[in-house]
Chain A
Amino acid sequence: MNPNLETDFSLSMRLLLVEDDHDAADYLRKAFREAGHVVDHAADGEDGLAHALDGKYDVMVVDRMLPIRDGLSLVAELRGRGDATPVLILSALGQVDDRVVGLRAGGDDYLPKPYAFTELLARVEALSRRGAPQAAETVYRVGDLELDRLAHRVTRAGKDIPLQPREFRLMEYLMRHAGQVVTRTMLLENVWDYHFDPQTNVIDVHVSRLRSKIDKGFDVPLIHTVRGAGYMVRVGMR
C-alpha cells in the first residue's frame, strides 16, 4: 500500500464487494482491509442482492457483468426496494454511454476496468457518507479556511481570497471531501464534468494555481498532494 495513505479507523467502512472473478476479488478484499475497511464478498448477482438486503453497508462495489443476475439489475432491484446504499459499478465497458446506462440504473459512480486501486479506494471513500460534510451544509470549514457556498466566498484566517468560478468549484469539491483522497479523474469528472483521460497533467496545474492562492503565506498547508493518488484537503499531514 502507498505509505502516504493513512489509515484512520474512525473512517472505517463496511463494504460489500460483488465480483465473480476470484483473483480480482481476493486482491480487492485484501487491499480494502489494508486500507482499514471491512469487506464482505459475494460471487454472483443473487448472492450479492441477498447480502445487500441483509446487512447494513456503507458502500457497495458491484461488477457490471455477473453470473445469475447482472450488476445493473442488482442495483435496479435494490433501488426498487428503496435501498439507497451508495453503489460503485465496476465495468469493462468504459464508454460514455455505458457509463450513462450504469448511472441511470441507480449507480452512484462508475469505474471502467482496468483501474488503479488508489482510484477505486478514493472513489469508494468519497461515496461513503462518513466523516464528510453533509451536502446540505452551506459553509465548509477546514482549519482556518472557510468556504461559503451561498455567498460564493472563501476566506482564510478571516482574510478574503478571491477565486475564479472554476477555482471556487474545485475548492468546494476538495473541501466537501476534506480528509479523503480526491483523484485527478474525480476532479475532472466532478468539477469539469468530463470523463476522458486528458493524458497530461492539466488538473495538477489547476490545483497548484489554487494552492498558491490558498496556502501561500500561511504556515500550515491545507491542500496536500497524495503521491500516486491525488489530492487531499486537511489540516496537517503526518
Chain B
Amino acid sequence: MTFAQRLKFKRNPKIRRNLSRLVRTTGFKLLAVYLLVFAVFAVSMIAYVAWHTSQLIESQVSEKVEAEVRFLADQYRVGGVQRLVLVIDRRTRRPGSSIYLLTNYAGEVLASNVSELPIGLLDQPGTRVTAYRRSDEPGAKENLAFVEVFMLPGGYRLLVGRDIEDRDTLRQLVVRPAQVALVLILIMGLAGGIFVTRRVLKRIDSMTATSETIMAGDLTGRLTVDGSGDEFDRLAGSLNTMLERIEALMAGLKEVSDNIAHDLKTPLTRLRNRAEEALRGATSEEEWRRALETTIEESDGLIRTFDALLMIARAEAGQARDSMVDVDLADITENVAELYEPLADEQGLDLVTEIVPMSIHGMRELLAQALSNLIDNAIKYGRPADGARGLIRVTLVRDGAFAVLEVTDSGPGIADGDRDRVVERFVRLEASRSRPGSGLGLALVSAVARLHGGQLSFSDAGPGLRATLRLPAKAP
C-alpha cells in the first residue's frame, strides 16, 4: 500500500466501512483464528527443527574433536612431542582440517594452523567455544570454534578444535526459508481469506437484497440458486420453498377472504333485505313472524359458516397439536357411522361399516367432525343417478404405519378435473347451490387431516366417490 493509497484508505469512509464489515464476518474471523493457530504451530516447528539441527551438529563436532584427541594421545604415547608435531603438521595440510595448536613450556608455537586466539585460552584445560582465525588460509575471517585444551607433561599445551561456523550456516539455511515461507503463507492466507469472505459477503448481500424486495411485498421474488450445491445454494433452495409456502398461504388467505366476503355478505344482504322488506311491506302479524323466523334461520347459517371458518383456521394453525391424546379411531368411526345410519336410511341409502381396531394420536372431536362431514356429504350426493337405493361404505383399515379411513358412496362421483378443487374452501361443485351446506365441510376435513399429519384424497369408486383419509396410526 503506497502512502497515497493509505491516505485514501484513511479518508474514504466507504472503504473503511466495507473493510470493517468484512472483518466482522464469521468467515473472516474463522480464517484469522486458523492463521493464528497455524502461525504458532509453524513457529514452534521451525524452532524445534533449528534447535535439533544445532544439537546434532554440536554433538558431531565434539565427537570429531574427541576422536582427534584420542588419535593425538596415541601418537604422543608412541613418539612423544616430536611425533605429535609431525602428525599435526601433516594433518593441517589436509583441506577442511581441524584446528591444532601445540606450544612448549615457554609458550612457543611448535605446530599450528591458528593465527589468532584470545589471550589466556591455553591456560585453562577443558572444552569451550571460542573465536579464532586460521593461519593456513590467507585473509581468513574470524570464525567460531569448539576447542579442547590439554596440559601435557613438560609444560607442553595442546589445543584441538573444529570450526563451528558451519553449524550457524546450516541453521541459517534451514530457518531463514522457513521464516520467509511463514510470512508468505500468512500474507497469502489473509489475502485468500479476504477474497473468499468477500465472495460470501456478496452472496449474502444479494440474498439480503432479494429478501428486502420480498419483505416489501413482492412475494413472487425468489433467491437465485446457481446450482453449485454449496451451503448457500441449499439455504437459498429451502428459503425458496418457504417462500412458496408463504405465497401459497397468502394466496389462500386472499382467496378465502374473497370467499368470506362473498359467502358471508350474500346471506347478510339477504338478511338485511328481508328485514327491510318486512318493515316496509308486512301487514299481518303472520308476515312479521315469517320475516323474523327467516332472519333467525339466515343468521344461524351465518354462525355455522363462521364457526367452520374458525375451526379450519385453528386446525391449520396447528395450535391444537398440544391437546392431542391417543384416541380410539375405531370407536369414533363406529360411533359416527352409528350416528348417521338412521339418517342415511331415511334418505334412501344403506350405510355399512368395516372397521379394524385402530388407535391414533389426535383429537377425538375433530376426527369425529371430519368423518361426519364425509358421511354427510355421501348422504347428500351419494345416491345413484337412477334413483335406486344408495350404499355408503365406511371402512377403516391399516396400511403399514397409516390408518386408512374411507367413505365410499354410490353416487355420480366427481369429474376428474374437479376432484382436487372440492377440498378448497367454499367450493361447491353444484352450481345452483340448492342443497344446504356452507361449502366448508371438506375443507375442514382436509385441515383436520393435515393437523394429524395425514391427508385427504378423492378417487373414483366407479361408480361413486371414494374419500380417503390417511392418518398416521399408533403401532397395533
Contact = CB atoms under 8 A, between A and B. Distances in A.
Interface in B38-88: none
Contact of B323 (A97, A192, A209): A97
Contact of B307 (A116, A197, A201, A202): A197
- Most chain A beta-carbon contacts within 10 A, residue among B320, B323, B339: B339
Interface stretch (B23-31, B95-103, B117-125, B340-348): B340-348
A129 interface: no
Contacts of A196: 365, 368-369, 372
A151 B323 CA distance: 38
A196 B315 CA distance: 14
Nearest to A95: B314
A166 interface: yes
Contacts of A27: none
B379 interface: yes
A184 B210 CA distance: 56
- Most chain B beta-carbon contacts within 10 A, residue among A94, A194, A206: A194
Contact of B304 (A197, A202, A206): A197
A200 B365 contact: no
Given A97-B320, A97-B323, A114-B303, A202 B365 contact: no
Contacts of B136: none
B131 interface: no
- Most chain B beta-carbon contacts within 10 A, residue among A192, A196, A201: A196
A10 interface: no
Nearest to B440: A199
Contacts of B311: 95
- Most chain A beta-carbon contacts within 10 A, residue among B296, B342, B368, B376: B342
Nearest to A192: B339
B460 to A, nearest CB: 25
A200 B376 contact: yes
A229 to B, nearest CB: 13
A202 B363 contact: no
A198 interface: yes
Interface string B437-468: 11001000000000000000000000000000
A205 interface: yes
B374 to A, nearest CB: 13
Interface in A101-124: 114, 116
B335 interface: yes
Nearest to A166: B338
Contact of A192 (B314, B320, B335, B363): B335
Interface residues of B, number: 31
Interface in A177-226: 192, 194-202, 205-206, 209
A202 B343 contact: yes
Interface string A79-114: 000000000000000111100000000000000001
Given A96-B365, A199-B437, A206 B342 contact: yes
B13 interface: no
Contacts of A201: 343
A20 B340 CA distance: 40
A173 to B, nearest CB: 15
Interface in B304-342: 304, 307, 310-311, 314, 320, 323, 335, 338-340, 342
A210 B178 CA distance: 102
Contacts of A195: 365
A94 B343 contact: no
Contacts of A199: 304, 376, 436-438, 441
Which size bracket describes the interface of A in this complex? 20 to 34
A199 B372 CA distance: 10
A198 B436 CA distance: 12
A21 B278 CA distance: 28
A129 B35 CA distance: 85
B368 A194 contact: yes
B363 A96 contact: yes
A98 to B, nearest CB: 11
Contacts of A192: 335, 339
A57 B304 CA distance: 33
Nearest to B438: A199
Contacts of A114: 299, 303
Contacts of A96: 363, 365-366
Contacts of A206: 339, 342
A200 B320 contact: no
Interface in A44-100: 94-97
Contacts of B376: 198-200
Nearest to A195: B365
A202 B437 contact: no
A205 B339 CA distance: 9
A190 to B, nearest CB: 13
Nearest to B302: A114
Interface of B: 296, 299-300, 303-304, 307, 310-311, 314, 320, 323, 335, 338-340, 342-343, 345-346, 363, 365-366, 368-369, 372, 376, 379, 436-438, 441
22 contacts: A94-B307, A94-B310, A95-B310, A95-B314, A96-B365, A97-B320, A97-B323, A114-B299, A192-B335, A199-B304, A199-B438, A199-B441, A200-B436, A201-B343, A202-B339, A202-B340, A202-B343, A205-B342, A205-B345, A205-B346, A206-B342, A209-B342
Top 6 A-B residue pairs of the complex, sorted by shortest distance between their CB atoms = A205-B342, A196-B369, A96-B365, A205-B343, A202-B343, A97-B323
Given A96-B365, A205-B345, 13 more contacts: A114-B303, A192-B339, A194-B368, A194-B372, A196-B368, A196-B372, A198-B376, A199-B304, A199-B376, A201-B343, A202-B339, A202-B343, A206-B342
